[in-house]
């Protein structure tokens, strides 16, 4: 255990070999998981500095501000890092659907024995 990283109050992200950390985004009000993405050092800094969620696109190999083209930005209300500083939790207010498919959350399907089934919109409210 690296006590300084695990227990200290100095931000010292442990990026993977590609320079990324995982970012989990939830709705600040409902707690619903909206998306999972990755941040590099620049995306994390921009998120902290602007209060808007920024990520690193592994497929495009570029920085992106969530909602820059759609207008569905994520206003950050709380930003946390886990114990070993290799994952970030973004609690945000979504300005619209978070998923590129137009769904509120990227997690809109259940996995079951017969394959995938859609999540009913009211099902998340009961979780």
Which residues define the annotated binding site for Mg(2+)?
82, 84, 86
Q: Please give the Cα distance from 90 to 117 (Å, whole number).
A: 27
Annotated binding residues for Zn(2+), written as ranges, equal 83, 99, 106
Helix (H) or strand (E) run with residue 49 in it: helix 41-50
**Under DSSP, is residue 120 helix (H, G, I), strand (E, B) or coil?**
coil
**Nearest Cα residue to 99 out of 109, 91, 88, 90:** 109
Annotated binding residues, written as ranges, equal 82-84, 86, 99, 106
């Amino acid at each position: 255990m690296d006590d300084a990283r695990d227990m200290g109050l100095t931000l010292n992200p442990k990026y993977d070999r590609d320079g990324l950390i995982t970012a989990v985004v939830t709705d600040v009000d409902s707690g619903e998981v909206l998306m999972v993405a990755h941040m590099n050092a620049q995306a994390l800094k921009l998120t902290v500095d602007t209060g808007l969620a920024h990520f690193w696109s592994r497929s495009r190999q570029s920085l992106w501000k969530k909602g820059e083209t759609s207008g569905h930005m994520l206003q950050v209300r709380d930003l946390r890092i886990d114990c070993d500083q290799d994952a970030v939790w973004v609690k945000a207010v979504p300005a619209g659907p978070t998923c590129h498919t137009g769904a509120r959350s990227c997690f809109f399907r259940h996995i079951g024995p017969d394959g995938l089934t859609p999540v009913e919109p009211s099902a998340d409210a009961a979780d």
